[in-house]
Every structure is written in structure tokens, then in C-alpha cells.
Amino acid sequence: MTDKSLAIVAGAGPGLGRALLRRFEEGGMRAVGLVRNVPDDKAGLDIHCCDLSDVTASKRTISALIQEFGPPKIVVHNPSNLIISPFLELDLNAFEASWRSVVLTAAVLGQSVIPSMVQNGGGAFIVSGATASLRGGARFAALASPKFALRGLTQSLAREFQPAGIHVIHAILDGIIDTDRSRSKHGLDPAKMMRPADIADAYWHLAHQPASAWSHEVDLRPQSETF
């Protein structure tokens, strides 16, 4: 077991996930990422293969991390599965897969980490939401439906586990995160996009709020974003 506190980032892909791992490491933590498929280039980060929709395998993987590094102090749920489609053309198998990727994974992660966090005196459990967490747009049924459910799940976790010292946070990311993929797809001016390192820094400060002034839901957006 290490002297460093454990931070777990589920959905540690390029962009925000890796930025979170780097920020937590800079803060002196043992940062571990979980992804469905481990990339060849992990950029020096500690990233493990873990499909959080596989309940048994996920709990086994996370239990081994806790056994090795101790209960986590920060856990971030950050998987994403963006499907944009007219509703009548929406593949219902893809619709179900989106729900599993967004909602089921949060439930599996919570059940895997919260008991040890409670026993260890608390910690922060941060969930990445989106604009679709608050309103459903045309052709976004496969995103808005699970994001609405994820928001409700997060509220329930906050009300159940806040008395036990678990700071549950729902962060609404209202904007496009700046990655190579999003630049290619959206063609936006990077100045109008969300910098992963800036979001990661905001998560760090949320996780370290004093208990007398906890935030549950916050929204983050670029200065140029209309809302």
C-alpha cells in the first residue's frame, strides 16, 4: 500500500480523462485510469483495462486497486458515448449500449468504491454531465436519456452518502472539450472550446471544498458559450 491517496478516473481517454490523471498526480496522488481499451501510448500514465459495464470483472479490478493502494479519496466517472441520430433511425441496440455506457457504469463504479470510501472517512465522487443532462435536443435522444438518468442517480447518491462524508458532485460540461478529435469533427476555434486541463483543475478544487461549503451541481462552460 502506498502513502499517496488513490484517485480513480473511469473513462481516462484522451482529453479530459488524461488531464484529470495528470492533475491528480500533480496534487500528489496515486492516479489510476480505467478504460475499456488500453491505448498503445499511455503517455506515462497508469491506465488499466476495465469495461465498467461488466459488473463482475469491474468489481474485481477495482477491488484489487483498493487492496494495493487503499481506498480512493477522489473518484471520477467520465465515460462518454455520443450518438447523434434522428429518433426514427436510431438503432435501439445502440440506444441500450449508450445507457449501459453512461448510467450502468456509474452504478457499478459507485458500488465498487463507495463502501471503502465510507469506511475510510469519506472522499469525493465526481460525475461528468453535459448540456444534455438538462435538456434533450433533436437527434440527441440516445445522449439525453442516459444523461438525465445519470443526473438523477447522482442526486440520489448525494442524498444517501453525504452524511457519511462522500461529496458527490455532478459537473455539467456545457461546451465542446478541446481534443484532436473534436477539433476535426466540429471545426471550432480552440479559443471557444473547453481546455481539458482547465476542467481538471476545476474538478480538483471541487474535490477539496471544505465540508461547510460543498457544491453538488456546477456548470462549466467557455466564456464565449451562450446559455
Average pLDDT in the chain: 95
Least confident of 40-44, 96-100, 210-214: 40-44
DSSP string, the chain: --SSPEEEEES--TTHHHHHHHHHHHTT-EEEEEESS--S--TT--EEE--TTSHHHHHHHHHHHHHHH-SEEEEEE---------GGG--HHHHHHHHIIIIIHHHHHHHHHHHHHHHTT-EEEEEEEEGGGT-PPTT-HHHHHHHHHHHHHHHHHHHHHGGGTEEEEEEEE-S-B--HHHHHHH---GGGSB-HHHHHHHHHHHHT--GGG--SEEEE--TT---
Higher pLDDT, 191 or 221: 221
pTM value is: 0.96
Number of domains in the chain: 1
Confirm if 104 and 112 have CB atoms less than 8 A apart.
Answer: no
Instruction: Evaluate whether residue 168 is within a structural domain.
Output: yes
| Whether residue 82 has pLDDT greater than 70 | yes
130 confidence band (pLDDT: 50, 70, 90): very high
Q: What average pLDDT does the segment 98-112 reach?
A: 97
| Whether residue 1 has pLDDT greater than 70 | no
pLDDT of residue 109: 98
- In CATH, what number is assigned to the domain containing residue 12? 3.40.50.720
161 confidence band (pLDDT: 50, 70, 90): very high
2 confidence band (pLDDT: 50, 70, 90): low
Q: Please say whether the dihedral angle defined by the alpha carbons of residues 101, 107, 112 and 116, taken in this order, is positive or negative.
A: positive
| Whether residue 93 has pLDDT greater than 80 | yes
Instruction: Evaluate whether residue 201 is within a structural domain.
Output: yes
Instruction: Evaluate whether residue 166 is within a structural domain.
Output: yes
Instruction: Evaluate whether residue 226 is within a structural domain.
Output: no
Residue 9: closest CA among 105, 116, 140, 148? 105
Instruction: Evaluate whether residue 227 is within a structural domain.
Output: no
Which range of residues forms the domain containing residue 119? 6-220
d(CA 148, CA 164): 25
Instruction: Evaluate whether residue 1 is within a structural domain.
Output: no
